[in-house]
Amino acid sequence: MTTPLSPLQRTASPAWLHRARTLLWPSPTLPSRKERIRAAIGAGIGLLITALVCHGLGPSGPANLWLMAPLGASAVLVFAVPAGPMAQPWAALGGNTLSSLIGLGFAFSGLDAEWAGPIAVGAAMLCMLALRCLHPPGGAVALTAVLTHTTQWTYPLFPVFVNTLLLVCVGAVYNSLTGRPYPHPQGAPSPGPSDGRSGAAEPDALSEVLQRYNQVLDISRDDLEALLHETERLAYRDRLSALRCSNIMSAPPITVQFGTPLQEAWNLLARHDIKALPVVDRYQHLVGIVTRADFMRHADRVAGQSAGEVRALAERLRTLLRPTPGTDSDKAEVVGQIMTRQVRVASADRPLIDLLPLFTEGGHHHIPIVSDDRRLVGILTQSDFLRAWSRAVHDGWRQG
């Protein structure tokens, strides 16, 4: 008779399986099929060209005299991970050549292979790390030299250096032609103040995190910083996507009508310390918007004025605002004569994130919010949007 599992046993088994799966299962991150095919074809082309050229240059005999086996691993890095620090020309050329010199030295040392091989690989790693040319195939180059009892002093030059140089040259051409710049810039952290973007990707913070991590990363610092910024941007976008214009708009808005005198409209702007007033009809339908800039433009304000011209502008503005006696006037008297008629609007249920291009690229500072029948229900300013963005940032930090 089978003994039933206790609750503890039932929960322990899935936990064990989950841990085993997380440790042994491949990473879920996978490039697109197009990228995989691009890398595989590139590696094949790179090795083929290298083999053909070196076969013609090298001595007759076995292929290992003119083509080294670890070059296959170098090809994987150069074509599949062209942005990685371990795949860059200095890492490939320096790592392979330096390791071949060390392996050659231990091949001549007289030590047994079981001692010489591991020591050669360890020494090669230390030297590559010290010279910032860590290239994993370099360990195989050093071990190969020991195991094959290489005694040719030309081994580091040919096939190692020549093989690697040809592969790197083909990689530079192929990767660049297929949209993967190679060599890939490996920038150092730039000193100076942050660019204003908040988050963990600020240069000083990133440098501190990398220093604490204290392990080799096969990604350049610039690429890592760019990925963090893009992740941060998408996270903020997702938070803002849940907001609608109605959530943060100012309602009810302060409005004027077509026939509102200019002095009255100007007083409203000054009293409420705002820069724009929606213009509506008697049914609250939006017909335009009047801004401080409209007043200045109609007062003939120009750029680059001297102090005297500024005083003249103030006088012209007072003249514009002063009502003209009688029925005839040669200047604007009411809001409808100076307002902007073509107004960019948004609906109350529109996602807030949709307005980001209007505020950041379109030059807009005020967006009237209207109902389906174009009745004005609120106004959204650039300041309102920035406050919502700031709240999203701070909420993200608290959740993190």
Query: What amino acid occupies position 206?
Result: L
Determine how many CB atoms are found less than 10 A away from the CB of residue 17: 10
Q: How many other CB atoms sit within 10 Å of the CB of residue 94?
A: 21
For 31, residues 6+ apart whose C-beta sits below 8 A from its C-beta are: 39
List the structure tokens of 319.
């003249």
The predicted structure's pLDDT at residue 192: 42
* Higher per-residue pLDDT: 156 or 1: 156
By the 10 Å C-beta count (0-12 exposed, 13-18 middle, 19+ buried), 300 is classed as exposed
Q: Which of 62, 61, 139, 68 is nearest to 106 (CA)?
A: 139
Q: Can you give the C-alpha Rg of the chain in angstroms?
A: 35
Q: Which of 341, 339, 385, 378 is nearest to 362 (CA)?
A: 385
User: What is the bridge-based pairing of β-strands 256-257 and 366-370?
Assistant: unpaired
pLDDT of residue 325: 81
Rounded to the nearest integer, the mean pLDDT of the chain is 85
Q: Which two tokens stand for residue 33?
A: 């099929």
Cα–Cα distances in angstroms (integers) from residue 277 to residues 14, 202, 261, 267, 344, in the given order: 63, 39, 13, 11, 14
Residues 6+ apart with CB under 8 A from 18: none
| pLDDT value for 355 | 85
Question: Residue 90: which pLDDT band, with cuts at 50, 70 and 90?
Answer: very high
Share of the chain above pLDDT 70, in %: 84
Mean pLDDT over 63-91 rounds to 96
List the single range of 25-34, 122-131, 185-194, 238-247 with lowest mean pLDDT: 185-194
Q: What is the pLDDT of residues 109-138, one digit of tens each?
A: 999 999 999 999 999 999 999 999 999 999
Nearby residues of 339 by Cβ (< 8 Å), 6 or more positions away:
258, 279, 287, 288, 289, 290, 294
Mean pLDDT of 366-388: 90
Kindly state the helix (H) or strand (E) to which residue 257 belongs, with its residue range.
strand 256-257
Pair of tokens at residue 151: 């005694």
pLDDT tens by residue, 225-259: 888 878 877 777 777 777 889 888 988 899 999 99
Query: Side chain identity at 31, as an amino acid letter?
Result: P
Residue 27 pLDDT: 67
Q: Distance between CA atoms of 95 and 83, rounded to whole angstroms?
A: 17
Mean pLDDT for 329-341 is 88
Query: 382 versus 393: which is more confidently predicted?
Result: 382
Above pLDDT 90, what percent of the chain? 52
Q: Which residues contact 167 (CB under 8 A, 6 or more apart)?
A: 46, 47, 50, 71, 74, 75, 78, 92
- What is the spatial distance between Cα 274 and Cα 289, in angstroms, rounded to a whole number? 13
Percent of the chain that is helix, strand, coil (3-state, to 5): 55, 10, 35
Q: What is the pTM of this model?
A: 0.60
Per-residue exposure over 225-235, b if at least 16 CB sit within 10 Å of its own CB, e if not: beebbeebeeb
Lookup: tokens for 116:
């010489």
Cβ 138 vs Cβ 89: under 8 Å: no
* Integer Cα distance of 262 and 285 in angstroms: 20
